A = this chain, B = another copy of it.
Amino acid sequence: MKKGYRILVVGGLAAGPSAATKAKRINPDAEVILFEKSDYISYGICEIPYYLTGEYRDKNNLVVYSPKRLAKEKGVTVRIKSKAEEIQTAKKSVTVRDMKSGRTRTERYDRLIIATGSRPKMLPFEGSDCKNFFTIKSLQSAYRLRDYLSRHNPRNAVVIGGGYIGLEMTETLRKIGCTVTLIHRHKYPFTGLDKNAGEKIVQELETNDIYFVPHTEVTGFETRGKEFITAVATSSRSFPADIVICAIGVTPSTEFAATAEIQTGPFNGIITDEKQRTNLENVYAAGDCCELRNIVSGKSALFPLATVASKTGRVAGENAAGGDALFNGTVKNVAVRLFELEISRIGLTMAEAKETGFKPIKETITAYSRVAGMPDSARLTVTLVADKANGRLLGGSLVGPDGAAHRGNILAALLRLGRTISDLSDLDLMYAPPFSPLWDPLLIAANQSGKKIRGRHD
C-alpha cells in the first residue's frame, strides 16, 4: 500500500479504537485517524455500576486509553470533540465538525470505518431532560450521575427496565443506600427466562428490599419546575422519584451513515458482509451501529455488547488496512450479577426459537453447583432450549448464587459450533468437590433434555 494511505474511523468508544488500533498494526504506513464527537474515547461502559458503588477501583476513572495514550502507544491520530457529519462517497471524503469552534473541515479517506455505536432508547415524555434523569451509555452520563448522587444523596430511585443494565443499576442504587423501585414491562426481569429462573430473580430482588413492579408501562413523568422529576407515572400507579434511571434498551446510531446510501436492516442497524464491509465501496462498519448475524438463528440482529464491538472492530480494522479477516456472527451470551445471584442467558430463548421456525423443547432442572455439603455449594437452575427435530442446542440460561456465569460459556461454545444436547451430555466436565459435583448441573440438564427429545422417560 502506498504511503499517505488514509483510514478514517468514526466513533471512539469500543469498536472504533479496536478498528483503528488493528488497522495501524496491520498497515503501519497508513495514516489512521479516529474522530470522536465527545471528550472521551475507549472507556469501560460496563464498569459504570461498579464504579458508582466504589466496588471497582480505578485510578483512570473508567478510561482505558486516553487519546494521548492511544496516539503514543498505538500510533493512531485521535481527534476528540470532532463530529463526523457527512460522507461524500464520490469524493471519498467526510465532513467533520470541530465541536469547540463549530467549524467544519473535509477529510479525505482511502478507507472509512463507521463505528458510531448506539444510543439509549428514550421514553416520549417530558422530563427526559431533567437533571435527575439518567441513562447509562456514556462516560459523560456516568460522571454526571456520580456527581448527582454525591451532591443530592437521593432517597427514592426508580429504575425503568429490567434488562441487564436495569438490574445492575438496581443493585448499584440499593448498595449506595437508595430505596429502589424497578419497573418492568414483563412478568420477570431479564425477559425470556424460564418461570423457575424468573421467580428466583424476583425473590432475590425482594430479599434485597427492591420494589419490583412487573407488567407495567411508564406513562409519564411528574416534574418540579421542569428541572427535576418528582414521580414516575405508570399504567398502575405513580412512584415518587428523587432519581430516575432509564434502561429500556439501545438503538443503533446511524445518522452519519444515513448521509450516504448505506444500507440498514430491519433493526435500523448497518448491514455488512463477513468482512464488515458496507454496501459502499471502501466503507466498513463495526460495533453497536451494525446488525450482525445471530449464529444460532442465522438471522440478523442487534448485539450491543462490548465483546462484539471489539471483535467486529478488529475485523473491520484489519480488512480496511488490506488484511483478510472474517466475522461470521455471534452467539448472544450475557451474564449479570444481581446481589448474590448470577444470571446467565445464552443463545435463543424459547420464544425466539419458535419465532425463528424451530420446533423447540425446553427443560429446566435445579442441581447443586458444587458437591452438596461443600461450602458455597448452592442450587443452580439450568434451562436448556433445543430443537426437537435433531437435538440441536438452541439456547439456555443459568440462575443461581454460584457458578452460573462460567457455565454459560460452555453453552456458548456448543452453540457457536452448532452442536447438540447429546454433545453436551458427552462433555468431559471436571469433578472436584470444591468446584463441581460428580454430575455437573449442565450434564444433568442435558440428560433430562435428551429424554424429552427422544420421548423417553428412563
Contact = CB atoms under 8 A, between A and B. Distances in A.
A342 interface: yes
A47 B342 CA distance: 26
B409 A430 contact: yes
A432 B337 contact: yes
A334 B56 contact: no
Interface stretch (A141-149, A274-282, A367-375): A367-375
Contacts of A433: 44, 46-47, 50, 56
* Copies of this chain present: 2
A57 interface: yes
A315 to B, nearest CB: 11
B432 A336 contact: yes
A209 interface: no
B432 A427 contact: no
Q: Counting chain B CB atoms within 10 Å of each CB, which of A306, A331, A333, A438 scores highest?
A: A438
Nearest to A412: B428
Contact of A431 (B46, B332, B371, B436): B46
A458 interface: yes
A113 interface: no
Range for the number of chain A residues in contact with chain B: 35 or more
Contacts of A419: 417
B337 A434 contact: yes
A430 B407 contact: no
A306 B440 CA distance: 12
A428 B458 contact: no
A299 to B, nearest CB: 16
A44 B335 contact: no
Interface string A412-451: 1111110100010011111111111011100000000000
A330 B428 contact: yes
A227 interface: no
Given A413-B413, A419-B417, A337 B430 contact: no
A357 B321 CA distance: 39
A73 interface: no
Nearest to A62: B373
Nearest to A318: B458
A430 B344 contact: yes
Nearest to A425: B311
Contacts of A330: 428
Contacts of A432: 46, 334-337, 405
A408 interface: yes
Contacts of A44: 371, 433
A439 B58 contact: no
A287 interface: no
13 contacts: A44-B433, A46-B438, A58-B373, A305-B431, A307-B429, A307-B430, A332-B428, A335-B430, A409-B440, A410-B410, A413-B414, A416-B428, A417-B417
Given A58-B373, A307-B438, A335-B435, 15 more contacts: A44-B433, A46-B371, A47-B371, A47-B374, A55-B375, A56-B433, A305-B431, A328-B426, A334-B430, A337-B432, A337-B434, A409-B410, A413-B414, A413-B427, A416-B427
5 residue pairs, one from A and one from B, having the closest CB atoms: A406-B406, A335-B430, A331-B428, A405-B435, A337-B434
